Amino acid sequence: MTTTTEATPEIRSFEADVAKLLHLMVHSVYSDKDVFLRELVSNAADACEKLRYEGLTDAGLLGDDGQPRITVTLDPDARRLTIEDNGIGMSEAELADALGTIARSGTKAFMDKIAGAKDAEGSQLIGQFGVGFYSAFMVADQVEVVSRRAGADTAAAWLSDGLGTYTIRPVETTDAPARGTRVLLHLKEDAADYTQSFKIERTIKAQSGHVPVPIFLKEKPDAEPKQIADGAALWTKPKSAITPEEYKDFYRSAAGQFDEPALTLHYRAEGLHEYTVLAFVPETKPFDLFDPDRAGRMKLYVRRVFITDEAQILPRYLRFVRGLVDSNDLPLNVSREMIQESPVLAAIQKGVANRILSELDKLSGSDAEAYLKLWDNFGPVLKEGLYEDYARRETLLGLARFKTTASGGEWRSLKDYAASLKDNQTAIYYATGTDLDRLATSPQLEGFRARGIEVLLLADQVDSFWVTSGVDYEGKPFKSVTQGLADLSLIPLPEGEEPAAAASDAVNGFIAFVKEVLGDAVSDVRASDRLTESAVCLVAPENGMDRQLEKLLAGAGRLDTTAKPVLEINPHHALVEKLSAVESNDPEVRADAAHLLFDEARIADGELPVDPRAFSARLMRLLERGTS
């Protein structure tokens, strides 16, 4: 028999190998070495912002040096890189507290301290997690921090190799900044290129060029500093203070293009979520417009610090838009290289996409010529949204423009199309293909043209997909002129024209014969009410897939089998009437004619004859018979 005794639970702390933890954090949190520079510049900018805030109540902290700045100094000979600021600085105790404890963010503590203060709203502090500083060990085998707090007459230094220990000591004020912090990196051998001025300047401009503190670069310790960032972000200025030339220059820099923006959108969203948008629609097609990845090119900033250009801010069909979004409250992951899915991000995505589409709609009404130039460039991409974005489909249909059988080569809107609907017309008719000129002369259009029915000519690949996705406009479905029965009899002919007489018995007999001869090559052979000039054409079965879409899917290997087409024969065509009169006791001629009509329909549809050699032999036999 065993007995149990009451014992007081013992509370213990987790133990960690600090060296391994630091190594794991430095080499796992970040994927790009360049971000160390962004993190150190962000820390320096935060220090300057802290000084600005504390200087509101103690002007003496600013002394004679009231202008914030960050200075980056290169020393290629000694393989060293220095980032120095004239911000708030740190005392010895603050150095130990901020840098001696991983994931203790001084910025976070400062934000907690001023939370609720009247000036906190204007604060532009960046750091959150207290780990950004340690990214320096990705490129440095030793980091030395010397700091002097504003208003203090002492200074201290912190030194570590990033392997788990650090030293801290007081230093003479003559060896420290007059105010602020100096971070000195002893670079690793494979990181020596971070002493090259062009690399540092390019990286700072790309990642930190818009922090609210001017940045200077010294190419050598004794060189004169040159300003590489002015501490001003164009998008934070009022629109009235920005010239068209400044917008143009920023667009070219941000987008990497040499044209001019055709549309500029600059606004600040306020309310539940605050963010600023500066977006441009290019004047010409970007080279990567049809990149298979269909990636967007909107840069994401958080409080003016670059985060990523891979965030999916806009839907893929707006990937031609260039620009940026700067958010005040977007949550980031610990490395700040990636954004987290959140209601804030979803609100930004929705708001920016809706605003861009709204601006395009305004342009289409205020400057139709300018809008049509945009549609010429980006229409095929915008139409991807008709297939992918159900929520905005109505808006996109309003933006869409089409070439039609009635447009004379000009663009027409669906509103224009709806205004020209014929009596009893219950659908919006379209024809898909790969060539606009061939589409315009398709035999399937003849019956529609005879009744004055406008048909959309859709020559972009995406057209074959969105028109089959259940879309409609003002209650009218989209219907292919190459699919099923044309059903044109309900739509009246122009005044003065009489409907064609019924097919003769001989023609009906010939149509039945063609169906028998072709057998499984077709799903049906029938008299056509859509043909007025051509003898034959091919259409898809009533419940079958549109023929152009079927070709695209088959070509991509996404269809194992294709549907058998329907061969429609014009019962009033002179050739058909003559072939119908050929004696039935001459079956070879009639059979050759049946196959040739089918091959003719395939050729008119952009396809090859079923059997080119047999087609040639049949054609030769009929030519010989006709000339004998």
Return the higher-pLDDT residue of 608 and 99: 608
Q: For 28-76, what is each residue's pLDDT tens digit? A: 666 678 888 988 998 999 899 889 888 888 888 988 888 999 999 999 9
Give the start-to-end residue ranges of the domains of the chain.
18-229, 234-370, 505-627
Q: How far apart are the first and last CA of the chain?
A: 120
Q: Dig out the tokens for 138 from the structure.
A: 């990705």
pLDDT at position 125 is: 45
User: Quick check: 337 pLDDT over 50?
Assistant: no
366 CB neighbour count, 10 Å cutoff: 9
What is the Cβ-side half-sphere exposure of residue 179, based on CA atoms within 13 angstroms?
20
In the block, residue with structure tokens 């502090």? 125
Phi, psi of 218 (to 5 degrees): -115, 120
Report d(CA 137, CA 292) in Å as an integer: 37
Question: Mean pLDDT, the chain, as a whole number?
Answer: 87
Which parts of 30-150 fold into alpha helices (H)? 35-55, 92-99, 106-114
Question: Which CATH number does the domain 18-229 belong to among 3.30.565.10, 3.60.15.10, 3.40.50.1820, 3.40.50.300?
Answer: 3.30.565.10
Kindly give, in sequence order, each residue whose CB lies less than 8 Å from that of residue 270, ignoring residues fewer than 6 positions away. none
Return the higher-pLDDT residue of 165 and 22: 165
3-state secondary structure 568-627: EECCCCHHHHHHHCCCCCCHHHHHHHHHHHHHHHHHHCCCCCCCHHHHHHHHHHHHHHHH
279 CB neighbour count, 10 Å cutoff: 26
Report d(CA 146, CA 158) in Å as an integer: 6
pLDDT at position 397 is: 97
User: Quick check: 118 pLDDT over 80?
Assistant: no
pTM of the model as a whole: 0.76
User: Quick check: 227 pLDDT over 90?
Assistant: yes
Q: For 419-462, what is each residue's pLDDT tens digit? A: 999 999 999 999 999 899 999 999 999 999 999 999 999 999 99
Q: Could you give the 3-state DSSP secondary structure of residue 386?
A: helix
Q: For 212-225, what is each residue's pLDDT tens digit? A: 899 999 999 999 99
Question: Which CATH number does the domain 505-627 belong to among 1.10.1040.50, 3.40.50.720, 3.30.300.20, 1.20.120.790?
Answer: 1.20.120.790
Q: For 323-335, what is each residue's pLDDT tens digit? A: 999 998 777 654 4
Q: Which fold has domain 234-370?
A: Ribosomal Protein S5; domain 2 (3.30.230)
Comparing CA positions, the residue from 70, 82, 81, 63 lying closest to residue 44 is: 70
